[in-house]
Amino acid sequence: MDYPRTLVRVSTTNAESLRADSARVRARMLQAARDRIAAGELELPLNAVAKAAGVGVGTVYRHFPSRQVLLEALAAEGLAQVVAAAVRAAAEPDVANGLAGLLRVVLEGQRTDPALAAVLATPEPAGPQTRDLVGALTAAVDRLLRRARADGVIRSDVTAGDLQALLCGLQHAVQVSGAPTGERYLDVLLRGLRAHP
């Protein structure tokens, strides 16, 4: 038996309206999460984000299946800036200045963006965009460190993983000390990395 076929047409305007509404809801959820982090609540329970954004918890989970995915969404812009700084640092003619500049950018980014600090401290990114950014960051930092080792600027045993751990520790030291910047700690770190201190 043949059934009549019915075509359902969704107007372009209606589809655009749904996309715009989804974008507004996503922005509200991200802002609610930013507000919680700014208030010092890094645990970021998704049900609390839903309540603050005025949406159901299912809506939050549809956009952000885990806390880590939400943190990565919050940190995406800052992480992209760190990647750009790493690429510039790797191309810097003066490798020592490139390294110092990159470390300053990362430390300042972590100091001002707790989500970025959390994402940089995580060994395995949850989302594909973050994995791509972290891969690009690692590649640029590896290029920078190879040049720095070859030029005798840093010790031969310093790795990108070492820098990541040291910067996370540095960020924590700045946070705990209440220092307005991490410049003093960064200077100590740079002296410790030198091939000939």
Q: For residue range 100-119, what is the model confidence (pLDDT) as tens digits?
A: 999 999 999 988 899 999 99
pLDDT tens readout for residues 32-80: 999 999 888 888 899 999 999 999 999 999 999 999 999 999 999 999 9
Q: How do the domains of the chain map onto residue ranges?
A: 1-64, 66-196
Q: Per-residue confidence at 15, pLDDT binned at 50, 70, 90?
A: low
Strand boundaries in the chain, DSSP class E: none
DSSP secondary structure letters along 123-167: SS-SSHHHHHHHHHHHHHHHHHHHHHHHTTSB-TT--HHHHHHHH
Per-residue pLDDT averaged across 90-94, rounded? Answer: 96
For 66-196, which CATH superfamily applies? Answer: Tetracycline Repressor, domain 2 (1.10.357.10)
